[in-house]
Amino acid sequence: MAKYVIKNHGHSQFMFNLISGSNVILTSEAYKDKSSCKSGIYSVQVNSLFDGSYRRKTSVGNHPYFTLVAGNGETIGTSEMYSNELARENGILSVIASGRTTEIEDRS
């Protein structure tokens, strides 16, 4: 079962993880307040269904990963680093399948 988990992040900031089963499949940027963090979750719920919202990238260490971006091009969340491009595509499919969840756990 998928859910979003809101957590404290540093000095009075918030962030969320999208979790499927026991795996973190997307990690948000830091937000200055909880309402902005919740808006970020809503943005994932809206944008996660569209393949064009995913930016497939490769790290400096040559590991594939992806970011999910909003309609304005701003990054909503970032994946983990994957061992290969197929694993990255499977990660994207997991976010597509899980992103619409309305389950939110607030651990902040």
CATH number of the domain to which 81 belongs: 2.30.29.80
Q: What is the pLDDT of residue 14?
A: 97
- In this structure, the dihedral spanned by the alpha carbons of residues 91, 92, 96 and 97, taken in order and rounded to 10 degrees, is -20
pLDDT in tens, 57-88: 999 999 999 999 999 999 999 999 999 999 99
What is residue 50's predicted lDDT score, i.e. its pLDDT? 95
40 contacts: CB under 8 Å, gap ≥ 6: 16, 28, 29, 31, 76, 77
Phi and psi at 48, nearest 5°, equal -70, -20
pLDDT of residue 10: 82
Q: For the chain, what is the mean pLDDT?
A: 96
pLDDT at 36 over 90: yes
pLDDT tens-digit map of 9-18: 888 899 999 9
Domain residues for the domain of 30 are 2-106
Average pLDDT for residues 46-65, to the nearest whole number? 96
Supply the DSSP string of 37-69, one letter for each residue.
HHHHHHHHHHHTT-GGGEEEEE-TTS-EEEEEE
From residue 4, how far is each of 44, 61, 79 by CA, in Å?
10, 29, 14
At residue 100, the pLDDT reads 96
The pair of structure tokens assigned to 86 is 């197929």
State the total domains in the chain: 1
